Structure 1
Amino acid sequence: MTIQTIGVLGAGTMGAGIAITGVLGGYEVVLSDSSAEALSRAEAKLGKYLARQVDKGRMDETNAQAAQARFNLSQDIKGLAAADLVIEAVFEDLSVKREVFAQLEGLVSADCILATNTSALKVGDIAEALSNRDRFCGLHYFSPAEINPVVEVIRGAETSEATVATILPMLAACRKRAIPCKDQSGFALNRFFCPYTNEAVRCLEEGLGTQSQIDAVAMATLGLAIGPFAVMNIVKPNINLAAVRNLSPLGEFYAPAAEFIRVGEAQMLWEIEESPALDANQSAAIADRLRGAIFFAVLDEISEGVAAAADIDMGAQMAFTFAKGPAQMMRELGETEVTRLITLAAGSAAMRVESTLQNLLLEPVEA
């Protein structure tokens, strides 16, 4: 099967960005939402994006007009009936997602691929609403979807090879880098990014530094333009907390920090006020904790077969702008130092990833 028309259900920030991505890839796109206002905002967003590309010389006016013409709007979900692929981008609630997929299954053709853009829910749990689950998968775009190049392709227990084989060329046409991953909580990237933000809060709780000091250490250590507390304020702490809580069944290490729960449940933002620079020892203590949390979570997911080390590194650099991927950092530090760091972050649980670390360090690195 070849994808010619992409349907997107939900015209919020993510849905609009996904629809724009499809248009830029040369596909006919139908964006559906019950809100005329949301559809109008999405159309304006595309217009601004295309105008900017023309102004910067990345696209000529003819191609911009052609892209705009491929962008179709529908206030009725029935407008998605002729799509070859429908990507759901509605509210992150299991019952809501199951309800819309039950609707979609009765609406689209038997060959149409159905995908969820969930960032936290398991694909298999959503798939329970469907009778035909082999054509269903997860496509987790990262924000902003029209710019961020990474998409996690989550294969559920019943997702067919044919479904994945059809999806990958579409993503390539849209200039996206696909990360194939197992249907496990956090998938490939949030699996370590959420523990990283959670560890930052634990450092705050323990008085190792203020929000701004911890952000500064994270930026210097990982080569980031923005630290964990600033990121959480953009995403919103309550949303980040929900993602962290989604990992809790994986063990004590993944449990949200008490201060994270307090701020998230109150729907507050982190107070990031300028603070004096920390001395070298204080900075090193925070850097060790942050790296240890990232490394342990990455080794944990590799041991479970969630994703390949090379894909995790690529995603860390391209989706989160890490200067180096976690696996590369671990190879450079060596077994003794990484073991020290993951023990700092995860305690006795670090023992369960020792063999994974050893195997990682023995793997040949692709040129």
Structure 2
Amino acid sequence: MRITTVGIVGAGTMGSGIATNLAQAGFMVRLADARREAAEKALAGARTFYARAVEKGRMGPAAAEAATARLAVVDGLADLAPADLVIEAVFEDFDLKVRLFEQLSSIVRADALVATNTSCLRVTDLARHMSRPERFLGLHYFSPAAVNPIVEVVKGEATSDATIETALAFCRASGKEPLRCKDSFGFAINRFFCPYTNEAARALDAGLGTTGEIDAVAKEVLGAAAGPFTVMNLIKPRINLHAIRNLAPLGPFYAPARTMIEAGEADRPFEITPVAGGIEPARKAEIADCLLRGCFLPVLQALDEGVAEPAAFDHGAKEALKFGIGPCALMDRLGRAEVERIVRPALSAYGIAEPDALARVGSLAG
């Protein structure tokens, strides 16, 4: 099956970014939102994106005009019936998504694919509310979706191999790098990104450092382009908190920290405090341990579960999250004894069994 027309439901940050990317890549895009003004705003945002690309020499004027012409706002879900693929990009709420998929089941063509852009929910659980679950999958884009190269391609229990192959070809045709993942809470990248941000909040709660200091340590030890609090402000603490809460079935280690709950429920950004002078070595080491624990333990557990290969975790960390080094490569560099020292406090505090993958540290990344 060749995909030429894509319907997108949800014109927020992610939906608008996906639409912008796909129209630029040559796909016909139909954008639906319960609030038509949101869809119209997304269309205007795409025009601005293309105009800036022309100014910077990344697109020609004719290409920008053609991309804009491929974007259209529709009045409702029924107008998505001709689409070869429909991508859901509404708020990360299970019940909201379920209601949408039940509606789409009676609208989309029998041979069309339907994908969820969920960041943490299991595809299999959502697929139970589709009339043709074999044609349902996860396509998890990363912000900003218009330019971020990574898309996690997630196969649910009922998803057919043909659906996955079609989706992989579609991602490549749109200029994205597909990262295949097993269906698991958080998939590959959010499986460790969410705990990493949560451990940053726990370090703040424990008084180990200020937001600015914790961000600075993250940039140093992970080579991150931006620290966790800066990134959370970009994606919104409310959204990040919701994603963390969706990891609850994985156990108490994944429960949100106090300040994460406070900022998320108040829907307010974290105040990033300037770093005055240096950070004491001992305190800096404790902060680093917290951040690395948030990355390492979830990745080791996910490797045990077969969620993805080590190379996928590392590639996603570098390309989607802009880390200077991936978690598996960093664990190999540090060695088993040091990684065990870092994760041991969490194993003890939360009664977690030692991951089998810990024994492979030193050769995880090949």
TM-score normalised over the length of structure 2: 0.95
Give yes or no for contact 1:238–1:263 (8 Å, CA) kept in 2: yes
- Report the 3-state secondary structure (helix = DSSP H, G, I; strand = E; otherwise coil) of the residue aligned with 1:361: coil
2:182 and 2:307 in contact (8 A); partners too: yes
Q: Is the contact made by 2:186 and 2:247 (CA closer than 8 Å) also made in structure 1?
A: yes
CA contact (8 A) 1:155 1:182 kept: yes
Counterpart position of 2:251? 251
- Equivalences for 1:9-88 in 2 at 5 Å? 9-88=9-88
Is 2:342 the partner of 1:361? no
2:7–2:31: 8 Å Cα contact kept in structure 1?
Answer: yes
* 1:334 alignment counterpart: 335
1:318 Cα deviation from its structure 2 partner: 0.6
Amino acid paired to 1:129: H
Taking a change above 3 Å as real, the CA distance of residues 148 and 252 of structure 1, as seen in their structure-2 partners, is same
Amino acid at match of 2:284: S
CA distance in 2, matches of 1:5, 1:226: 36
Shift of 1:63: 1.8
8 Å CA contact 1:342–1:350 kept in 2: the answer is: no
Q: Is 2:256 the counterpart of 1:290? A: no
CA-to-partner distance for each residue in 1:109-153, whole Å, 9 max, x for gaps?
Answer: 111000011113221222121121000001111111101111111
Counterpart check, 1:96 vs 2:96: yes
Counterpart mapping for 1:250-289 below 5 A? 250-276=250-276, 277-289=278-290
Superposition deviation, residue 158 in structure 1 = 0.4
Amino acid corresponding to residue 356 of structure 1 in structure 2: A
Identity between Structure 1 and Structure 2 (%): 48
Q: Superposed, which structure 2 residues align to 1:300-311 within 5 Å?
A: 300-311=301-312
Other-structure match for 1:175: 175
- Structure 2 distance, partners of 1:233, 1:39, is 24
Map Cα deviations across residues 57-114 of structure 1 (whole Å, 9 max, x no partner). Answer: 2221222222122112211212111111000112222222112212212112111000
- Note if contact 1:296-1:350 (Cα within 8 Å) is conserved in structure 2: no
Q: How does 1:210-225 map to 2 (within 5 A)?
A: 210-225=210-225
Residue identity in the other structure for 1:66: A
CA RMSD of aligned residues (A): 1.8
DSSP-derived class of the 1:184 partner: coil
- 1:152 & 1:280 partners in 2: Cα distance? 38
Partner letter of residue 172 of structure 1?
R
Superimposed CA distance per residue, residues 293-329 of structure 1 (whole angstroms, 9 cap, x where no aligned partner): 2111111111111111101100100111000000010
In the TM superposition, 1:90-239 aligns within 5 A as 90-239=90-239
Preserved CA contact (<8 Å) 1:303 1:353: no
Q: Map 1:303-322 onto structure 2 (within 5 A).
A: 303-322=304-323
Contact 2:335 2:361 in 1 (8 A): no
- Give the TM-score normalised by structure 1: 0.94
| Paired residue secondary structure (1:114) | strand
Q: Distance in 2 between matches of 1:278 and 1:159?
A: 50
Distance 1:138 1:47 in 2: 27
Superposition deviation, residue 358 in structure 1? 2.2
Give the paired residue count. 365
- Give the gaps of 5 or more residues in structure 1: none
Amino acid at match of 1:313: D
Displacement of 1:270 after TM fit?
Answer: 2.2
Residue 324 (structure 1) aligns with: 325
State the distance in 2 between where 1:213 and 1:50 align: 37
- Aligned partners of 2:201 and 2:257 also within 8 Å: yes
Alpha-carbon contact 1:289-1:345 (below 8 Å) kept: no
1:192-250 deviations in Å (ceiling 9; x for gaps): 01111111111112221111111111111111232112222222223222211222221
Amino acid at match of 2:8: V
CA distance in 1, matches of 2:226, 2:309: 26
Report the AA paired with residue 121 of structure 1. L
**Cα distance in 2, alignment partners of residues 293 and 93 from structure 1:** 24
| Cα pair distance change 1:211/1:364, threshold 3 Å | closer
